[in-house]
Structure 1
Amino acid sequence: MALTDLTERLYDLRRDRSSGYEKPYKPALLLSLIDLVEKGEFSGNRILLTDELIGRYRDYIQVVGGPEDTARIQYPFWHLCGDGIWTILDSNSQPLYRPGENANKAPSVTGLRASMSHAELDEELFNYLQRSVERAVLRNAIISRYFPSQRSLIEVMSSEFLHRQPRAAEAPARYESDPARSQAFAKTIKQVYDFRCAACGIRVRFRDLALVDACHLIPFSESYNDHPTNGIALCKNHHWAMDRHLIAPTLLESDLVWHSSPLLDDRIDGQRPLVQLQGKKLLLPREKKFYPSSEAIAWRAERLASA
């Protein structure tokens, strides 16, 4: 499996959204695991439910969790099996997690420790985690997708844990042009917007190709934010226009609408379609939790080209 494919899988972890937001448990556990791998706590492809892993997971939940989120590690540890991240094996090397039988019945921590031998990572994920460069790419992808607003805190927390200088200053050089991260973001945004331009509505798919681009509202070079609420799907023309601040999504009362730059002239054929976007509602994802964030909308609105 290519690093790009693995990154896409990490961008699409199945998570509980019943509270109106994506729960942080699975990505927090993966970040905990990566920290422990980097520190040399695990040897070979044998992940144990150690006190160190539980403690590290609790540290992450304190930083990225909401007021109602609890640090019960057994749930993400169990359900990551369903994402193909690892397999929990018993003493006979048989899987404990069996879809269709017990997938929805996570044991307690005590029950897991008593019944499991160890968890075995997907072989290719394990191999990537053994190499520092790929490990850093996967770690950054998880932060960019799930915890962009807590990046600074996570970097400080991780640096203290690993007894080294924070890596935040390295982020632009290392991650801005990372193809695995970029392709995972693109796939997520296109799917969320059903491969449709949020401005003109054009939707063309041919085999695995789509006409739309996945665009950052706040550029990744400034935000390091790959969360879907910092993205929008646009056709090539409207992507070009937004990047040059000729159009921008804005909030009008309770609606998200397009605003056109006053520099545009509707008497000019090439500019008329952009002017006609003025006041038109954005074509948004079906799920409200993926709507553009207020911060991203404000960033674009403030930079709309004016006379």
Structure 2
Amino acid sequence: MQEENRIIGYYIHAFANLRRDSKKGGAPHKPVLLLAIINEYELGRIKDNRIFITPELTHSFSVLWNQLVTTEHDQRFALPFYHLSGEKGNWWRLVPNIGCEIWLENPGSMRSFGNLSAAVAYAEIDPNLTSLFLNKESREVLKQMVLKTYFPQKSIQSTENQKDDYLDDLKNEVFEPSVEYKTKLLNLKKRLDPETYQIEVYNRGAIFRREVIKIYDETCCVSGLRVSALFTITMVDACHIIPFAKDFDNSLTNGIALCPNLHRAFDRGLISVNDSYEVILSPSFKENAQSEYSFSKIEGKTIALPNDKDFWPSLANFEWHRKNVFKK
């Protein structure tokens, strides 16, 4: 018990003395992010010491910001997610995506949500803090302390029973026709500031990946590889047939589930799919045909399709891929 009291005392002190810009009454970004993270633990959407950038977390941050912040600060998720790594005690550590390690050495580049989400795989917090967040009583103590310290005149409602349509709406959008989906995104781009738009695009991309992997039962549609995991980690990718940057299309019929090596081959035009849903192989490269994993072994193979025909990948999109990406 003495050790538990020491640990919670340490984090009460740490959370009450966050390093913040003092302008405009003190930057609220770090306290709001901590409250959003506590909320995600409370709802059971974070279960260990890894804090991924998810639609749920970015939305919790936005909701709490609108409830609590009355100063003229800009709502920026990237700032606190990056700068918590500078807090004393090293209890928040950023884990970069492979090849992005040097990005994290340049704080200026991490002001953008797009750069943050591209560079950072997740944040890893101290196991002792994780235990506090997973415990209802200690979690509530930390929540109330953050509120009292940084937002003394404010309170937040328990989110457990709140009705929030945002995430449901995002899920529903991927089931819409691609034309409607693209129109919505273009309208968002017109009316939102660049930072918020980046978050909205990121959130929709994350939902697209989850739903594509789900309708393919977490299975590569070519190789049959299947590895079940938490929604934040999977060995199967959701692959856009027409790249998102080209057509702003996150509808399910523009996606297939592929293991990473086949995803890369598809994106680079080494393989494609014909009108009979069969894999075709580009003649423009050479490989070791004796290898057990040779691409020649999948040539002519019919891809596995979702059970619901409405979610079958668009043949028109595959035709676009063959004309514009596939190496002939």
Q: Greater relative contact order (Cα 8 A, min sep 6): structure 1 or 2?
A: 1
TM-score by length of 2: 0.44
More helix by share: 2
